[in-house]
Structure 1
């Protein structure tokens, strides 16, 4: 009788373990609350949903999301820009994270001007101090994303190029005001300078010129899906394999965001439509 009871208990434990292993766990997906992150994250979320995972989405600014990741309140982040833009935020957590997938490379932060600003007048950030430029340009520089690599780097630019002494002022604004600042300047021909990056839909909407940065404040990054190690180790092998194959590229990430913002399409619809239109690429992700 004791032997039978032991066998029954053992069988129950084994079956429970198998069922738990077969049932994909819910995942808490963190994303920074800027539209280009939302657009790319929509593809990753669709992939995870197709793999059977239920998802909870958490949004916040850069310090908030990395704080939640560090406290274990977020399972994976879409996406971390490494090694430069988000490097300082991720560094304290790096030994607790796995780099699961690289969504795109050649991710860049920079300052840009509308193409109507003459290149012979403003080719580099240093040129912003020319008297002939300061007399014409809007010296209020509007950025976005408090605590972001873009704003942290822009603050360095202000100091190291001596732009405050030239009358420039840097401020953080909501995304709508930041984009409107460029739209109004492009429509009126006003000179202005804008902290920007790629991939970003504004590059596809307005003619812009990236300014040279002789001091090399900003570096080149890759956009990585990072997962907490303890979560990664619990994921099904198929989830790890498929997620690791997801690639978008700069042009795709830009177009996804453009459709979302300019055409007012829901991020989930944009992601599903793109995946349906690119079966050759997506099928490779899910191949056994």
Structure 2
């Protein structure tokens, strides 16, 4: 049996060498290194960072699969080993509950982006400046706050906001998605209407429109957060190079913003945009790959 296995390996190696000679060694290298599975949520920052990391890992020779999930399912997928990593863990506040429930099965690779913010966002032209003013302005915003997907930590925090400020009776939190939230915001701005949405930084909407956060006197949303990269246990042993790249991944809000804005162009493909950005930022990419 050992002889057969050895012969099989020899045939496989010879076949790979022949294919490489035909000019497609890159795809063989990727297959030989294995597949990295990245989980993410359909937030603009998560779509951008996940596709950038996909492009970088593919440059390093890996196959990469990406799966869009709810926030809770994303954390569970990495904890259970169904996914290898995620680049969009908002800590210490937004995803605090998910982290506490799964931290014993995860490896926190640390911050990949510093200086995030969560809160309620309004057009700059509105007279609203603080959350505690919403009680008197419920009618002007149609008695609702436009939210995102119901599993998001931001939505849970916003429910706490409604409770803390005594707004549950007059204002509803509407579930939706990042896309439906920005569509509602765009429509309101077009008509110069008041609107309140759940928002976060970094997000491309702040580059497109003149917006502001409502003050949060009770500090329910907390202070600035960071976005962490989280990996499954065992990834370092199974794919040490991929683990190193994920561990080294770190960029600024401005760099992330470049990719997010590219993704808002009509008909654009986030994956193709990520590949173009990676190609134009090879010095940073080489640092992530540990080659500089």
Fold match (TM-score > 0.5): yes
Q: Secondary structure at the match of 1:240?
A: helix
1:184-203 superposed Cα distances (whole Å, 9 cap, x missing partner): 11111111111100111111
Match of 2:22? none
Aligned partner (choices 157, 161, 166) of residue 153 of structure 1: 157
Deviation of 1:135 after TM superposition, in Å, equals 4.4
Say if 2:246 is the partner of 1:230.
no
Deviation of 1:244 after TM superposition, in Å, equals 2.1
CA distance in 1, matches of 2:221, 2:237: 34
Deviation of 1:150 after TM superposition, in Å, equals 0.8
Contact 2:81–2:233 (CA under 8 A) maintained in structure 1? no
Unaligned runs of 5+ in 2: 14-30
What are the equivalent positions in structure 2 for 1:69-88 lying under 5 Å apart?
Answer: 69-88=78-97
Aligned length: 270
| Higher relative contact order structure (alpha carbons within 8 Å, sequence separation ≥ 6) | 1
Match of 2:20? none
Deviation of 1:101 after TM superposition, in Å, equals 5.0
Q: Secondary structure at the match of 1:67?
A: helix
Q: CA RMSD in A?
A: 2.6
Match of 2:194? 191
Alpha carbons of 1:82 and 1:72: their partners in 2 closer, same or farther (altered >3 Å)? same
Deviation of 1:214 after TM superposition, in Å, equals 1.0
Say if 2:116 is the partner of 1:113.
no
Aligned partner (choices 78, 101, 115) of residue 92 of structure 1: 101
Deviation of 1:117 after TM superposition, in Å, equals 0.5
1:89-142 superposed Cα distances (whole Å, 9 cap, x missing partner): 121221221223532111221111101103xxx221011123xx3343332211
Match of 1:49? 58
TM-score with structure 1 setting the length: 0.85
Alpha carbons of 1:266 and 1:101: their partners in 2 closer, same or farther (altered >3 Å)? farther
TM-score with structure 2 setting the length: 0.84
CA distance in 2, matches of 1:271, 1:188: 34
Unaligned runs of 5+ in 1: none
CA distance in 1, matches of 2:86, 2:160: 26
Say if 2:179 is the partner of 1:176.
yes
Match of 2:40? 31
Deviation of 1:276 after TM superposition, in Å, equals 2.3
1:129-187 superposed Cα distances (whole Å, 9 cap, x missing partner): 23xx334333221100221111000100111101123x111110133321121011111
CA distance in 1, matches of 2:262, 2:168: 37
CA distance in 1, matches of 2:287, 2:33: 21
Alpha carbons of 1:63 and 1:207: their partners in 2 closer, same or farther (altered >3 Å)? same
Deviation of 1:272 after TM superposition, in Å, equals 1.8
Q: Secondary structure at the match of 2:120?
A: strand
Deviation of 1:58 after TM superposition, in Å, equals 1.6
